[in-house]
């Protein structure tokens, strides 16, 4: 529940308690003006009880909203942590790294890949999946960029992935009938990836090295997908940099 909603509920509760307090105070005042000593003593007890309850209610409300304000403004609540992560991601430069490999359809359908992710552990699991398939895939390419602001990095990620995406076809009913699958991974993360431009599979392994230098709390975003490739004979034409992996 957001802080504004809690404040509104607290104000309504305080208003209701205030009305009840005023009404009870009027009754106590009337009792204290009675000529009967017992009624005056009872009214005094009721007044003390009323003050105790009123003060306790106000104290609890102040304590609750004080703790909530601290957690929202200075603490580590989930909402605040998410906001801080978004602020760091928006304010820190991000480099772009695009990786692409192809596996033949004769090996069967490829394993599933997470379409999107935002955590280092997810990214490293994805890299592990691709490395575990190394005996099956052919290297296509990898391209990296220097660090840039968030908007530019997003545009560059779209451009780089589009370079590979535009060179394959994707018919509507493709599962299990195509001759190849292109694994396309695009990462936006803190760091300078401008030196990544390998021309062979060994260079592809080297291009993964910057990803293992990321820290667990780094703000990043990545996409991964399989794109069907049409005719096996056209693979070298579509991807001149294809290099078999021994």
Task: List pLDDT tens digits, range 151-170.
Answer: 888 899 888 888 877 766 54
- Report the distance separating Cα 51 and Cα 117, nearest Å: 55
Are the C-beta atoms of 116 and 222 separated by less than 8 Å? yes
3-13 average pLDDT score: 62
Q: Are 214 and 159 in contact (CB under 8 A)?
A: no
Q: Which pTM value belongs to this model?
A: 0.56
Whether residue 98 has pLDDT greater than 70:
yes
Q: How far is CA 212 from CA 61, 93, 205, 221, in A?
A: 48, 18, 11, 15
- Helix (H) or strand (E) holding 81, with range, is helix 78-91
Q: Which residue matches tokens 């589009």?
A: 162
Every domain of the chain and the residues it spans: 3-75, 92-238
User: Nearest Cα to 243, choosing from 108, 164, 134?
Assistant: 134
- Of 33-37, 38-42, 100-104, which one has max mean pLDDT? 100-104
Task: Kindly give the residue spans of alpha helices, DSSP state H, lying in 166-229.
Answer: 201-207
């Amino acid at each position: 529940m957001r802080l504004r909603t809690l404040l509104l509920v607290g104000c309504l509760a305080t208003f209701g308690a205030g009305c009840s307090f005023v009404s009870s105070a009027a009754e106590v005042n009337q009792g204290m003006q009675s000529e009967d000593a017992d009624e005056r003593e009872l009214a005094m007890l009721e007044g003390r009880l009323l003050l105790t309850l009123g003060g306790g209610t106000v104290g609890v409300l102040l304590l609750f909203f004080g703790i909530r304000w601290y957690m929202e403004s200075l603490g580590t609540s989930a909402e605040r942590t998410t906001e801080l992560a978004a602020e760091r991601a928006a304010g820190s430069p991000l480099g772009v790294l695009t990786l692409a490999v192809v596996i033949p359809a004769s090996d069967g359908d490829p394993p599933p890949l997470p379409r999107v992710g935002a955590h280092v552990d997810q990214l490293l699991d994805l890299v592990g999946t691709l490395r575990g398939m190394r005996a099956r895939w052919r290297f296509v390419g990898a391209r990296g960029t220097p660090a840039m602001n968030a908007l530019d990095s997003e545009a560059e990620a779209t451009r780089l992935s589009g370079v590979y995406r535009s060179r394959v076809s994707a018919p509507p009913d493709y599962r299990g009938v195509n001759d190849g699958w292109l694994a396309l991974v695009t990462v936006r993360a803190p760091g300078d990836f401008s030196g990544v431009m390998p021309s062979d599979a060994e260079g592809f392994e080297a291009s993964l090295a910057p990803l293992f230098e990321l820290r667990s709390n780094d703000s990043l975003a990545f996409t991964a997908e399989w794109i069907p490739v049409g005719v096996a004979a056209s693979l070298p034409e579509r991807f001149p940099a294809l290099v078999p992996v021994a």
